[in-house]
Structure 1
Amino acid sequence: MTGFGKTKGSDEQERGAAVPKIKRAVGSSESRSEQRDIARFDEEAATDRQFVTALARGLEVLRCFEPRERYLGLSELARRAGLPKATVARLAGTLAKLGYLRYSEALGKYSLGTGVLSLGYSMLSNLDIRDVARPFMQELAEYARASVAIGVRDRLSVVYIEWVRSSAPITVMRSVGVRLPLATTSMGRAYLAAASEAERNEVLEHVRAHDEANWPRIERGIVQAVKDYEERGFCLSAGDWDKDIAAVGVPFTAPDGTRMAFNCGGPAFVMSRETLEEDLGPRLVDLVNRLGAALGRR
C-alpha cells in the first residue's frame, strides 16, 4: 500500500491529484467481519505478550454502545463486538459486577454503568488544554456566530472533548462526547491531513472496507483536504458529511504529544465556502497558533 504520491494515470497527473492506493477488503458480510475481529484478538495475543485477549474483548463490549442507545441485548452486543454470544454473556456478567454495565431484569438487556462515566470524567478532567483553549474558542464562536470544538481520534471517528457555541439563535447543537466521522468532517480531515503517511493509509484502508460504495467520494475529499492543509493550514467540509453543515478544521498537537483537531462550523445556509476559506479558516489557524503559544508559556 502506497502513500499520497502521484499515480501514473495521465488524467490524475494533469489534475495534480495524489490518490492513495488502498487494498480492497475481502468480503463485506457481518459474519466475515466478526471472524476478522476474533482473529485479530487471537493474532495480537499470539504476537504480543502484553496483550490480554479477555480484557480486549471486554472493552469491545463496552464500545458497542452508541450515543442515545441506552439498552442492548446479548445478541446485539455479540453482533457488534464480533464475538460469540456465550463469550459476551460471560463478559457482560463480569462487567456488570464491576459496575461498568447494568443489567435490567425487566428488559433482559444491559446499559452502561457509572464505572464508565467515572473513567471518562477522569480523562477529561486531566486535559488542561480545554481550560486554556476555551476563551479562544468562545471568542471565535461569537465572531463566527457558530460553534467551535476540539476532537480526538477514536478509531474511525473523532470525539468531542470540548465544545462551545455562540449566543446566536441559530447554530449547530453538539456536546462533549459526540462522535463524528473521521473521513468526511472538517475536523477528521484535518487530523488525517496532519497524520503520518503510515497512520493515514491504515485509517483509509479501514474506511474503504467499511464503506466501499462511497469510497470514491470519500477519497476525493481526503486528497483535497491534504492539499488544503499543505497550502493553507486548514481543511473544509461543506455539505460532505451533512448537506446542512459547513465547517473548517485545523489539526493541533498538544505539548504532551496528544494529537487532536479543532473545528468551527454551523448551518451551511449561513456559512458559505468563501467565508470558510477567506475568513474562518485563517482565524481558526490563528486560534491554534495562539493556543500553542499560551500552552508553551505555562
Structure 2
Amino acid sequence: MLGGIVLIEWSAYSQLIFSYAILGGVYALTALGLSLIWGVMRAVNWAHGDLLMLGMYTAYWMVLLLGMDPLIAAIVAFCLLGALGGILHLIAIEPVIEKPGGHEATLLSTLGISVAIESMALILWSPSPRSYDNIYKGIYLELFGIRTSLAEAIAFSLSLIAIFLVDQFMKRSRLGKAIRAVSQNPIGARVVGINVSRIRLFTFSLGVALAGVAGVLVSTFYPNIMPLAGVVWDITSYIVVIFAGLGSIYGVIFSGLIIGIIEGIGAIIFTNAFRRILVGLVFLAVLLLRPEGLFGRALRRV
C-alpha cells in the first residue's frame, strides 16, 4: 500500500518536473534574444518580456480572427516583431547608445518602452487573461509514463531548432561572423570596415523577433495571455542569461532546462505559487560562486 502511494507521488513529481523542463526550452529561446542583444550592445532590454507578450497576442488574434495555424502565426510574429524591434532601436536606442552614459540611457529607454507597451496593451485588451484553442493542445503524448501535450512538445522542439539555426547562422554566415566580431571588439570591428550601427540594428531586431516566436510558442499551451504576462518571462530570461554566461549559445539551452527543472522542484517543495523561491536561492548561489555564469568564460586579470 505504502509502495503504491510512493509510486503515485513519484509519478506526479516526475510529471511536474518534466513539464517545467519543457517550459525551460522556451525560457532558453527567450533568453537567447536577450543574450544576443547584451553581447553586441552591452545594453539591458527591459522591454523584452513585453515584446514576448506581443508575440502571444499576435498568435491569439491571428488564430481568433483568421483561423491561422499557430505555427504559421510564429512566422508572422517573427517578421512583425523583428520590424517593430528595428523601429524601436532606431527611435529609442541608437540615438543614445554611443553618447556618454549611453548604456544607462538605453536602460531607461527600454524601461520606457516596456511601460508604454504594457499601458497600451491594458487599454486595448484589458487585464483579463485570455487563451485560445488549437489542435495541438488537445493531443497528448506519453513516454515512460510521463504525459505531455503535443503543443508543449512542439514548443520545446521548435525552441531547440530555432536556437540551433541561430547558432549555425552565427558561425557560418558573414553577417553572423560580423555580429560575433562586434560582440568581441566593437572598435576593432569598426576598424576592419564593419558597420557597427547596422549590426546593432540587426541584432536587436533578431533578438526581438526571437522573443515574438517564443511568445507564440508559449501561447499554444500557456493559459494566461495578458498584458502583464511578459514581466515574469523578462525576469526569468535574465536569470537564464546570467546562469549561462556570455559566449555560449548552447549554454543558454542547458541553463533554460536547469531553471525549468529547478522551478519544478521548487513547485514540489514550496507549492506552485512559490516555486521561484528555489530559483532565487540557486541564482544567488551562482552569483556568489561563479559570477561569470555556468558556461561563460572567467575574466583574467592582467
User: Normalization by structure 1: what TM-score?
Assistant: 0.25
Higher strand share goes to which structure?
1
Higher helix share goes to which structure?
2
Q: Which has the higher contact order (CA 8 A, sep 6+)?
A: 2
